[in-house]
Structure 1
Amino acid sequence: MTTHQGSCQCGSVAYEVETELDGVIECNCSHCYRKGLALAFVSPDAFRQTAGEGALSEHTFNTHKITHLFCKTCGVQAFARGVAPNGQPMVAVNVRTLTDIEPWSWTAQHVDGRSF
Protein backbone atom coordinates (compact mmCIF):
# COMPACT_ATOMS: atom_id res chain seq x y z
CA MET A 1 0.00 0.00 0.00
CA THR A 2 1.06 3.54 -0.71
CA THR A 3 0.59 6.25 1.91
CA HIS A 4 -0.73 9.46 0.39
CA GLN A 5 -0.99 12.94 1.90
CA GLY A 6 -4.08 15.09 1.51
CA SER A 7 -5.63 18.33 2.68
CA CYS A 8 -8.35 20.87 2.07
CA GLN A 9 -7.51 23.90 -0.07
CA CYS A 10 -6.42 26.17 2.81
CA GLY A 11 -4.51 23.43 4.67
CA SER A 12 -6.52 23.62 7.90
CA VAL A 13 -7.58 19.97 7.48
CA ALA A 14 -4.93 17.38 6.60
CA TYR A 15 -4.75 13.60 6.50
CA GLU A 16 -2.79 10.51 5.48
CA VAL A 17 -4.37 7.54 3.74
CA GLU A 18 -3.07 4.14 2.66
CA THR A 19 -4.52 3.24 -0.73
CA GLU A 20 -3.50 2.22 -4.21
CA LEU A 21 -6.38 4.26 -5.67
CA ASP A 22 -8.10 1.19 -7.05
CA GLY A 23 -11.86 1.48 -7.31
CA VAL A 24 -12.14 5.28 -7.41
CA ILE A 25 -15.71 6.29 -8.21
CA GLU A 26 -17.46 9.36 -9.53
CA CYS A 27 -21.11 9.36 -8.53
CA ASN A 28 -23.95 11.34 -10.10
CA CYS A 29 -26.01 11.76 -6.91
CA SER A 30 -27.09 15.28 -5.99
CA HIS A 31 -24.18 15.67 -3.53
CA CYS A 32 -21.19 14.09 -5.29
CA TYR A 33 -21.96 15.40 -8.75
CA ARG A 34 -22.41 19.01 -7.70
CA LYS A 35 -19.19 18.94 -5.68
CA GLY A 36 -17.21 17.06 -8.33
CA LEU A 37 -16.09 14.37 -5.87
CA ALA A 38 -13.89 11.46 -6.92
CA LEU A 39 -13.93 8.99 -4.05
CA ALA A 40 -11.67 6.18 -2.89
CA PHE A 41 -13.05 4.04 -0.07
CA VAL A 42 -10.77 2.72 2.68
CA SER A 43 -11.15 1.11 6.07
CA PRO A 44 -10.78 3.46 9.05
CA ASP A 45 -7.43 1.89 10.00
CA ALA A 46 -5.99 3.02 6.63
CA PHE A 47 -6.86 6.66 7.35
CA ARG A 48 -5.38 9.15 9.80
CA GLN A 49 -6.43 12.77 10.18
CA THR A 50 -3.28 14.77 10.96
CA ALA A 51 -4.71 18.29 11.37
CA GLY A 52 -7.95 20.17 11.75
CA GLU A 53 -10.24 18.08 13.92
CA GLY A 54 -11.89 21.27 15.17
CA ALA A 55 -11.90 22.82 11.69
CA LEU A 56 -14.55 20.45 10.32
CA SER A 57 -18.26 20.85 9.84
CA GLU A 58 -20.56 18.06 8.72
CA HIS A 59 -23.46 17.39 6.43
CA THR A 60 -25.67 14.31 6.09
CA PHE A 61 -28.56 13.64 3.75
CA ASN A 62 -30.74 10.88 2.32
CA THR A 63 -30.07 7.73 4.43
CA HIS A 64 -27.63 9.52 6.79
CA LYS A 65 -25.14 6.64 6.52
CA ILE A 66 -22.30 8.94 5.48
CA THR A 67 -21.14 12.01 7.40
CA HIS A 68 -19.69 14.39 4.82
CA LEU A 69 -16.98 16.47 6.51
CA PHE A 70 -15.76 19.76 5.12
CA CYS A 71 -13.41 22.54 6.19
CA LYS A 72 -15.18 25.43 7.93
CA THR A 73 -12.71 27.89 6.36
CA CYS A 74 -12.46 26.94 2.68
CA GLY A 75 -15.44 24.59 2.32
CA VAL A 76 -13.53 21.71 0.70
CA GLN A 77 -14.72 18.19 1.49
CA ALA A 78 -11.54 16.15 1.85
CA PHE A 79 -13.20 13.03 3.23
CA ALA A 80 -16.33 11.51 4.74
CA ARG A 81 -16.91 8.82 7.33
CA GLY A 82 -19.67 6.28 7.19
CA VAL A 83 -20.88 2.76 6.67
CA ALA A 84 -20.36 0.81 3.45
CA PRO A 85 -23.22 -1.14 1.84
CA ASN A 86 -21.86 -4.30 3.52
CA GLY A 87 -22.26 -2.65 6.96
CA GLN A 88 -18.54 -2.12 7.57
CA PRO A 89 -17.17 1.26 8.69
CA MET A 90 -15.38 3.16 5.94
CA VAL A 91 -13.77 6.47 5.04
CA ALA A 92 -14.46 7.99 1.63
CA VAL A 93 -11.46 10.06 0.56
CA ASN A 94 -11.87 12.77 -2.06
CA VAL A 95 -8.99 11.85 -4.40
CA ARG A 96 -8.94 15.41 -5.69
CA THR A 97 -7.62 16.52 -2.26
CA LEU A 98 -4.53 14.28 -2.39
CA THR A 99 -1.53 16.59 -2.55
CA ASP A 100 1.07 14.06 -3.70
CA ILE A 101 -0.45 12.71 -6.92
CA GLU A 102 -0.78 14.15 -10.39
CA PRO A 103 -4.26 15.32 -11.35
CA TRP A 104 -6.13 12.69 -13.35
CA SER A 105 -3.46 10.04 -12.69
CA TRP A 106 -6.28 7.74 -11.57
CA THR A 107 -9.21 6.16 -13.35
CA ALA A 108 -12.72 6.44 -11.96
CA GLN A 109 -15.72 4.22 -12.45
CA HIS A 110 -18.99 6.09 -12.94
CA VAL A 111 -21.73 5.14 -10.45
CA ASP A 112 -25.41 5.95 -10.89
CA GLY A 113 -26.13 7.20 -7.36
CA ARG A 114 -28.94 9.38 -8.68
CA SER A 115 -31.09 6.26 -9.15
CA PHE A 116 -30.63 4.90 -5.61
Structure 2
Amino acid sequence: MLYKGSCHCGNVKFEAEGQIEGLVSCNCSICQRKGALMWFIPRDNLKLLTPEADQANYTFNKHVINHRFCPKCGIHTYGEGKDPAGNAVAAVNARALENFELESVPVQHYNGREL
Protein backbone atom coordinates (compact mmCIF):
# COMPACT_ATOMS: atom_id res chain seq x y z
CA MET A 1 0.00 0.00 0.00
CA LEU A 2 1.17 3.53 -0.75
CA TYR A 3 0.88 6.10 2.06
CA LYS A 4 1.31 9.85 1.83
CA GLY A 5 2.73 11.81 4.72
CA SER A 6 3.93 15.24 5.69
CA CYS A 7 4.94 17.53 8.49
CA HIS A 8 2.30 19.84 9.98
CA CYS A 9 2.97 22.83 7.70
CA GLY A 10 3.42 20.75 4.52
CA ASN A 11 7.02 21.83 3.95
CA VAL A 12 8.18 18.19 4.06
CA LYS A 13 6.13 15.68 2.05
CA PHE A 14 6.80 12.04 1.28
CA GLU A 15 5.33 8.74 0.15
CA ALA A 16 6.01 5.43 1.86
CA GLU A 17 5.19 2.02 0.46
CA GLY A 18 4.59 -1.19 2.33
CA GLN A 19 2.26 -3.01 4.68
CA ILE A 20 1.95 -1.58 8.19
CA GLU A 21 1.67 -4.59 10.48
CA GLY A 22 2.98 -2.92 13.61
CA LEU A 23 4.62 0.17 15.01
CA VAL A 24 7.45 0.73 17.45
CA SER A 25 7.39 3.07 20.43
CA CYS A 26 10.90 3.68 21.77
CA ASN A 27 11.78 5.16 25.16
CA CYS A 28 15.24 6.51 24.28
CA SER A 29 15.97 10.13 25.13
CA ILE A 30 14.80 11.54 21.77
CA CYS A 31 11.94 9.20 20.85
CA GLN A 32 10.24 9.62 24.21
CA ARG A 33 10.31 13.39 23.83
CA LYS A 34 9.03 13.51 20.25
CA GLY A 35 6.36 10.82 20.73
CA ALA A 36 6.84 9.19 17.34
CA LEU A 37 5.39 5.80 16.50
CA MET A 38 7.79 4.30 13.99
CA TRP A 39 7.12 2.08 10.99
CA PHE A 40 10.32 0.53 9.67
CA ILE A 41 10.66 0.06 5.90
CA PRO A 42 13.53 -0.30 3.42
CA ARG A 43 14.86 3.19 2.62
CA ASP A 44 14.08 2.59 -1.06
CA ASN A 45 10.37 2.42 -0.11
CA LEU A 46 10.45 6.05 1.06
CA LYS A 47 10.16 8.69 -1.66
CA LEU A 48 10.65 12.37 -0.84
CA LEU A 49 8.21 14.68 -2.60
CA THR A 50 10.00 17.84 -1.48
CA PRO A 51 13.73 18.57 -1.70
CA GLU A 52 15.93 17.07 0.97
CA ALA A 53 17.32 20.58 1.49
CA ASP A 54 13.92 21.58 2.92
CA GLN A 55 14.51 19.27 5.90
CA ALA A 56 16.65 19.53 8.99
CA ASN A 57 18.72 16.68 10.41
CA TYR A 58 19.70 15.78 13.94
CA THR A 59 22.12 13.09 15.13
CA PHE A 60 23.30 12.23 18.62
CA ASN A 61 25.08 9.54 20.63
CA LYS A 62 26.81 7.34 18.02
CA HIS A 63 25.65 9.58 15.12
CA VAL A 64 24.42 6.64 13.04
CA ILE A 65 20.73 7.63 12.76
CA ASN A 66 19.66 10.75 10.87
CA HIS A 67 16.54 12.13 12.55
CA ARG A 68 14.77 14.18 9.84
CA PHE A 69 12.35 16.95 10.71
CA CYS A 70 10.84 20.12 9.32
CA PRO A 71 12.82 23.26 10.18
CA LYS A 72 9.63 25.37 9.99
CA CYS A 73 7.09 23.48 12.13
CA GLY A 74 9.46 21.04 13.89
CA ILE A 75 7.55 17.84 13.13
CA HIS A 76 9.68 14.69 12.94
CA THR A 77 8.70 12.86 9.74
CA TYR A 78 11.20 9.99 9.57
CA GLY A 79 14.66 8.78 10.46
CA GLU A 80 17.30 7.02 8.39
CA GLY A 81 19.92 4.49 9.30
CA LYS A 82 21.08 0.92 8.74
CA ASP A 83 19.72 -2.31 10.15
CA PRO A 84 22.07 -4.85 11.81
CA ALA A 85 22.73 -6.44 8.39
CA GLY A 86 23.81 -3.08 6.92
CA ASN A 87 20.68 -2.43 4.84
CA ALA A 88 19.42 1.15 4.52
CA VAL A 89 16.14 1.60 6.44
CA ALA A 90 13.72 4.40 7.17
CA ALA A 91 11.75 4.77 10.37
CA VAL A 92 8.62 6.60 9.24
CA ASN A 93 6.69 8.46 11.92
CA ALA A 94 3.22 6.92 11.49
CA ARG A 95 1.74 9.99 13.18
CA ALA A 96 2.74 11.96 10.05
CA LEU A 97 0.82 9.66 7.67
CA GLU A 98 -2.44 10.77 6.07
CA ASN A 99 -5.57 8.66 6.50
CA PHE A 100 -3.99 6.08 8.76
CA GLU A 101 -5.64 4.90 11.97
CA LEU A 102 -2.95 4.34 14.58
CA GLU A 103 -5.26 2.05 16.53
CA SER A 104 -5.47 -0.36 13.59
CA VAL A 105 -2.09 -1.99 14.32
CA PRO A 106 -0.28 -3.17 17.45
CA VAL A 107 2.49 -1.11 19.05
CA GLN A 108 5.65 -2.81 20.28
CA HIS A 109 7.54 -1.04 23.04
CA TYR A 110 11.31 -0.92 22.59
CA ASN A 111 13.69 -0.18 25.47
CA GLY A 112 16.03 2.24 23.69
CA ARG A 113 17.34 3.58 27.00
CA GLU A 114 19.46 0.44 27.25
CA LEU A 115 21.45 1.18 24.07
Normalised by the size of structure 2, how large is the TM-score? 0.93
RMSD of the TM alignment (CA)? 1.2
Identity %: 38
Structure 2: which 5+ runs fail to align? Answer: none
Structure 1: which 5+ runs fail to align? Answer: none
Partners of 1:55 and 1:73 within 8 A in 2: no
Partners of 2:94 and 2:102 within 8 A in 1: no
Partners of 1:80 and 1:91 within 8 A in 2: yes
**Residue 5 in structure 1 maps to residue 37 in structure 2:** no
Other structure's SS at 1:104 match = helix
Q: How much has 1:114 moved relative to structure 2?
A: 0.6
**Residue 18 in structure 1 maps to residue 17 in structure 2:** yes
Normalised by the size of structure 1, how large is the TM-score? 0.92
Q: How much has 1:109 moved relative to structure 2?
A: 0.2
Structure 1 stretches of at least 4 aligned residues deviating more than 3 Å after TM superposition: none
**Alpha-carbon distance between aligned partners in 2 of 1:101 and 1:44, rounded to the nearest angstrom:** 20
Q: How many residues are treated as equivalent by the alignment?
A: 115
1:21-79 superposed Cα distances (whole Å, 9 cap, x missing partner): 12410000001011101001111221101124222111001121110011010000101
Is 6-15 or 20-29 further displaced after alignment? 20-29
